[in-house]
Amino acid sequence: MTITTLTSRELNQDVTRAKKATKDGPVFITHRGKPAHVLLSFEEYQRLTQQRRNIADALAMPGVDGVEFNPPHANIRIRPADLT
């Protein structure tokens, strides 16, 4: 994966270059020397956002077989409501 860094000015002057660079990895766009935005391909965006849908999907991901997950049991007691 290659990370490309462009200034805001470079992006404005050559948007096509930035879009093509997303094929190799993220494109960092700086403003006054500081990272301000990240440009991703749509496929990469989907990959990143779909991985974090819910806990069941996260636990079903490949490579997490060896991860131990033993959450504590909830201790819920029912009490009558005090309406006075």
Q: What domains are there in the chain, each with its CATH number?
A: 4-57 (3.40.1620.10)
Say how far apart CA 41 and CA 26 lie, in whole Å.
8
**pLDDT value of residue 9:** 96
62: left (phi over 0), alpha (psi -120 to 50) or beta: beta
Write the secondary structure of 27-63 as one string of H (helix), E (strand) and C (coil). Answer: EEEEECCEEEEEECCHHHHHHHHHCCCCHHHHHCCCC
pLDDT of 53: 59
At residue 56, the pLDDT reads 72
Task: Please tell me the predicted confidence (pLDDT) of residue 51.
Answer: 55
User: For the whole prediction, is pTM greater than 0.95?
Assistant: no
Task: Give me the pLDDT at residue 14, please.
Answer: 96
Strand, coil or helix: what is 76?
Answer: coil
Tokens describing residue 66: 């060896």
pLDDT mean by block of 10 residues, the chain; 84 residues = 93 96 95 94 85 65 70 87 87
